[in-house]
Structure 1
Amino acid sequence: MMHPTTKILATLGPASEAPHRVKALISAGASAFRMNYSHGEHEEHLGRLTTVREVASEMGRHVPIVSDMQGPKLRVGKIAGEALKLGFGDEVEAHLGETAPEGTLPVPHEELFEALKAGDELMIDDGAIRLSVIEGGSAKMVLKTEVPGTVTNRKGINVPGRRLRIDALTEKDRSDLAFALEHNTDYVALSFVQCAEDVQAAREIIGTRSRIISKIEKPSALEDLEGIVEASDGVMVARGDLGVELPLEQVPPAQRRIISMARERGKLVIVATQMLQSMVDAPIPTRAEASDTATAVYLGADAVMLSAESAVGRHPEAAVAIMTRIIRAVSEDPNSFAEIAAACPDPFMNAVGGATAVAAADAADLVDATAIVAATNSGSTAYLISQLRPEQPIIALTPHELTARQVALAWGVTPKIIKDTEDFEELTRFAAEASSEFTGAQSENLAILLAGLPPGRVGSTNTMKIFRIGDYK
């Protein structure tokens, strides 16, 4: 039985929210579900969340939920005449406010006027229209059209070259966040993260109630990538928005850099946006999309994400099933683990826990262990061994449901709930039972147990045990 390595994060929406659909998606290979707070009301999200929890319980699975905050949205205001046609080289004034005189652009964002200077670029409608700043100002700017088009009401604005003085959490986000935390979300995905301080501000609100995934979607985030990764529990390569504000040819190198840095520091990393985009309508993806997904797996991403493909697409179960087949094909490639290791050759590890995890991974290879079992309260032991991307299945034993759900998103980890125990021999017996259950291990097989002694202390991974399955069955 192939153990899950790279996980699949599927977005729930109208096409996939019914209980039988959620069950089918999990059966097809979905490990986690994303709730997109850019769309829908709290009542809708509660229905989806409840469905996931109920279906997962029926199936005996631990399925994490990622609550994705909308973040600030910069938009054009209400245009006089409903539309403004801009030709190449045309100059146009932008006025601060929801409305503006005919023939000008209303821009209701004071922060833009504060930040933009002559020579800066401003993009409208996901980059379909591009303007350069000729003259800045506190309430009026003069812009020149570089890529022409027709601007209509409320189209989105992107500013690639400047860090804007805007909080990553809007009032809507704070309301959505309070709702998600009230209903025990496992992860919160932050949008519009520009620097580590944005993550720290969210951490003050969230505390330990949820783990934080920072979406890397702006060039300014790349400038403070190390700080953002350190402040977060995980990052998401949000290629859609990143591809608007970066030249397209710079997105693949940025993706590799983000994955490498996250892996080095032991943080989750998710690759998102348009993985199998053609499957929104088509029953199979393009070969290029299959290759793109495989590339993320070869780079060692913890998860790949489906957005519209599973939320509103015509073939949500097929999209998950095909993504599962791609992940399986990479895992069965005899060179895949070498490539995954080469993509992050020197992960940073803390002294005691890191040394124990490295020893466990090395020992698992030397004795041909059938599994590496991580006993964990907070999840830290499971994340540690996952960081090394071993060839053996990783089983996380924990007495806590929240921890079980959270580690289910980590590369190669399968969680199992056990009773809390301070008896190391009993813990070894639980490890033997889980190894047999999840890998089909026989009595003569060996497994590795990774734990902290004395039990119950967070971050105390200091003990490795090699044991024979049959001695504890």
Structure 2
Amino acid sequence: MTTEILCTLGPSSMNERVIKRLEELNASLFRINLSHTAVSAVAEMIHFIQEHCSVPVCLDSEGAQVRTGDSLQGPIVLTEHSFVKVCREYVIGNASQFNLYPLNIVDQIEVDDFISIDFNEVLTQVVEKRYEDITLRIINGGQIGQNKAVTVQRSISLPPLTEKDHKAISVGRELGVRHFALSFAGQADDVNQLREISGSGSFIISKIESRRGLKNLNEIASVSDALLIDRGDMSR
């Protein structure tokens, strides 16, 4: 059995010395995490990797994930038993209000839903819903940062690819990228949508990191080229 090694490159490792050393150690793919990479930076990163090694690039999508919005001065501190609003319109986040992305996710959230933020750092419950916002009661307090993962403890519907994913995949295709990872794959159709936009000859890694993905594992596997199991997210 051949071992495949997927290496994520970030700010501290995106340099010639590290890339060449990882190639010497038989890295199979270099992953660019689109959840933490601006679309404007994707082309430059791909060019840099391709210039310094022959290891293929893999673009890892944001996928069907709710995330926190912008904040003004670092992490937001939410204290137990306090209340905070999640707004439909764009705001700069603070301890009184913030956004979740996609913004229209508030349409699917209902009173009494439990919402965990930043890998369960903060646990909240919805106590009020209006068109313009929802109000959360803080059950377990803590800090939440920008662009952090959010989980609604009930099944909600999200597109398998974000607008940012579509743009980045298009850039990648133009630069010869053929490996793509689908975050939070939930069903076979999610994989098929990625394959349709990534083009013929693409190699798709479906990431199983939710209860829905685990439930539909067989159908996802049947249309994927590889699977990646994320044990840390399996309760989502």
Instruction: Sort the TM-score into its range (normalised by shorter chain).
Output: 0.7 to 0.9
Show the counterpart of 1:39.
Answer: 37
- State the SS of the aligned residue for 1:159: strand
Show the counterpart of 1:167.
Answer: 159
Q: Which whole-Å CA distance do the structure 1 matches of 2:74 and 2:27 have between them?
A: 43
The 1:117/1:185 distance shift into structure 2, 3 A limit, reads same
Q: What TM-score, normalized by structure 1, do the two folds share?
A: 0.43
Q: List alignment gaps of at least 5 residues for structure 2.
A: none
Q: CA deviation at 1:148?
A: 0.8
Structure 1 position 144 matched with structure 2 position 141? no
Show the counterpart of 1:231.
Answer: 223
CA RMSD of aligned residues (A): 3.1
Matches for 1:280-295 after TM superposition, within 5 Å: none
Q: CA deviation at 1:51?
A: 2.0
Show the counterpart of 1:104.
Answer: 96
Aligned-pair identity (%): 27
User: Whose strand proportion is higher, 1 or 2?
Assistant: 2
**What number of residue pairs does the alignment pair up?**
230
State whether residues 89 and 144 of structure 1, in contact with CA within 8 Å, keep that contact through their aligned partners in structure 2: yes
Q: CA deviation at 1:85?
A: 4.3
Show the counterpart of 2:117.
Answer: 124
Q: Which whole-Å CA distance do the structure 1 matches of 2:59 and 2:32 have between them?
A: 5
Q: Higher relative contact order by CA 8 Å / sep ≥ 6: 1 or 2?
A: 2
Q: CA deviation at 1:110?
A: 4.0
Matches for 1:82-93 after TM superposition, within 5 Å: 85-93=77-85
Q: Which whole-Å CA distance do the structure 2 matches of 1:15 and 1:147 have between them?
A: 33
Q: List alignment gaps of at least 5 residues for structure 1.
A: 54-62, 247-473
- State the SS of the aligned residue for 2:157: coil
User: Whose helix proportion is higher, 1 or 2?
Assistant: 1
Q: CA deviation at 1:27?
A: 2.8
Structure 1 position 195 matched with structure 2 position 187? yes
Q: Which whole-Å CA distance do the structure 1 matches of 2:114 and 2:66 have between them?
A: 17
The 1:105/1:218 distance shift into structure 2, 3 A limit, reads farther
Q: CA deviation at 1:158?
A: 0.9
The 1:88/1:229 distance shift into structure 2, 3 A limit, reads same
Q: CA deviation at 1:232?
A: 1.7
Q: Which whole-Å CA distance do the structure 1 matches of 2:75 and 2:20 have between them?
A: 45
Alignment partner for residue 156 of structure 1, among 148, 158, 163?
148
Q: Which whole-Å CA distance do the structure 2 matches of 1:18 and 1:100 have between them?
A: 33
Show the counterpart of 1:180.
Answer: 172
Q: CA deviation at 1:84?
A: 5.5
When Rg is computed on C-alpha atoms for both structures, the one with the higher figure is 1
Show the counterpart of 1:312.
Answer: none
